[in-house]
């Protein structure tokens, strides 16, 4: 299967590194044969329909140059759309930065790929937040595969479990701690009494939080994930604006420690069911599966047959995201017969 990578930053390089590490296993054990035939970053693209050497591609990613400047066959200024339209590939992996306002440029990349009959895997929340139903209809109309496990929960197999092993179950409610940055901050305040601003700065230094942490601490990132889960599992045609959102910026160590002293933890929880779409700080009993610590995420699915199932894991990071991306790629490969 010929693969095009759109976006070769941390996530694109992380996926390429995992593909290199797992190459022997994928081919000999899983019977999955993949070739990266194009990679696009902000400076241009490199293409080779015979397959790009992944080690050389990773060297380009680690250099100060763009892939177009570093590698033979690179073309500066070549856009992602030009590559999607002109390079013969079976699968497009869309890894550009997220815009939850308009979903671009990922939304256009995904739609163009589908219209050209190319399967799509993405980690990009933006397109699903603004156009979930449109993309699902396009998937049905074009007959391509469209997978987005990496948009929610990183390495946690939420979509694989609910739409695979538990596909006979009806999900009635989703509750989750879906943002590692806020969970790290709340955990540190609870356990050590550290001030909010100090812990936030620490999270930024450790790479848990962005330079501008607004989307995380104001609950918007969690709300985007709740929107995707509600559309995917509850068949609700909702947008980000439909979610009631409150972040954690008003929560201080006195609140978290008082909660802990009475047997509770304060967590930023997203909830979706037939009546409710909300994100906000909640008191969670210390023994509850959602009372996870540090940067962990946790999601509880309430279903008709299995009752309640909880999945816990790391929700962010190149390797964790690569786990979800690779799972989607392998599932598509097997679904379409390579």
Give CA–CA dist 268/179, Å, rounded.
8
Assigned token pair, 291: 């009372």
In sequence order, what are the beta bridge partners of 301? 174, 309
Residue 282 among known ligand-binding residues? no
CB–CB of 290/176 below 8 Å?
Answer: yes
Task: Give the sheet arrangement for strand 277-285, strand by strand.
Answer: 244-245, 277-285, 264-273, 171-177, 296-303, 308-314
Assigned token pair, 87: 């390079």
Give CA–CA dist 2/48, Å, rounded.
10
Residue 33 among known ligand-binding residues? no
Residue 11 among known ligand-binding residues? yes
Assigned token pair, 89: 């590939």
Q: Which of 111, 118, 225, 267 is catalytic?
A: 225
Assigned token pair, 319: 């390797």
Give CA–CA dist 56/337, Å, rounded.
29
Assigned token pair, 230: 């509600």
Alpha carbon 285 to its chain's center: 28
> Is 225 one of the catalytic residues?
yes
Give CA–CA dist 112/13, Å, rounded.
23
Residue 95 among known ligand-binding residues? no
Cα–Cα nearest to 109, from 181, 3, 118, 199: 118
Residue 207 among known ligand-binding residues? no
Strand segments, DSSP code E, in 95-139 are 119-122
Residue 263 among known ligand-binding residues? no
Give CA–CA dist 278/226, Å, rounded.
8
Strand segments, DSSP code E, in the chain are 2-6, 35-41, 44-47, 74-76, 91-94, 119-122, 146-147, 171-177, 244-245, 264-273, 277-285, 296-303, 308-314
Give CA–CA dist 93/123, Å, rounded.
8
Residue 210 among known ligand-binding residues? yes
Q: Residue 96: how many CA atoms within 13 Å on its side-chain side?
A: 23
Task: List, as residue ranges, the binding site.
Answer: 7-12, 125, 210
Task: List, as residue ranges, the binding site for NADP(+).
Answer: 7-12
Residues known to be catalytic = 225
Task: List, as residue ranges, the binding site for NADPH.
Answer: 125
């Amino acid at each position: 299967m010929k693969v095009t990578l759109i976006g070769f930053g941390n996530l694109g390089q992380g996926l390429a590194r995992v593909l290199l590490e797992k190459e022997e296993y994928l081919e000999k054990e899983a019977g999955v044969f993949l070739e990266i035939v194009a990679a696009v970053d902000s400076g241009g693209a490199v293409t080779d329909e015979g397959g790009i050497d992944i080690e050389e591609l990773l060297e380009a990613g680690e250099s100060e140059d763009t892939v177009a400047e570093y590698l033979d066959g690179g073309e500066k200024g070549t856009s992602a759309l030009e590559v999607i339209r002109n390079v013969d590939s079976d699968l497009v992996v869309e890894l550009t930065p997220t815009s939850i306002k308009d979903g671009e440029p990922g939304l256009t990349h995904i739609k163009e790929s589908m219209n050209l009959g190319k399967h799509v895997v993405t980690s990009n929340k933006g397109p699903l937040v603004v156009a979930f139903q449109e993309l699902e209809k396009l998937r049905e109309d074009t007959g391509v595969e469209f997978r987005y496990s990496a948009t929610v929960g990183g390495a946690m197999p939420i979509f694989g479990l609910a739409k695979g092993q538990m596909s006979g179950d009806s999900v009635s409610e989703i509750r989750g701690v879906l943002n590692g940055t806020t969970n790290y901050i709340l955990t540190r305040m609870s356990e050590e009494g550290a001030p909010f601003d100090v812990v936030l700065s620490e999270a930024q230094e450790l790479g848990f939080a962005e330079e501008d942490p607004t989307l995380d601490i104001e609950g918007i990132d969690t709300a985007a994930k709740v929107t995707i889960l509600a559309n995917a599992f509850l068949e609700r045609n909702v947008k980000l604006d439909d979610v009631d959102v409150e972040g954690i910026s008003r929560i201080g160590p006195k609140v978290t420690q008082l909660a802990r002293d009475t047997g509770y933890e304060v967590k930023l929880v997203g909830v979706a069911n037939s009546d409710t779409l909300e994100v906000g700080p909640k008191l969670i009993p210390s023994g509850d599966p959602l009372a996870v610590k540090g940067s962990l995420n946790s999601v509880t699915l309430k279903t008709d047959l299995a009752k309640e199932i909880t999945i816990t894991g790391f929700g962010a990071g190149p390797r964790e995201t690569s786990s979800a991306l690779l799972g989607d790629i392998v599932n598509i490969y097997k679904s379409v017969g390579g």
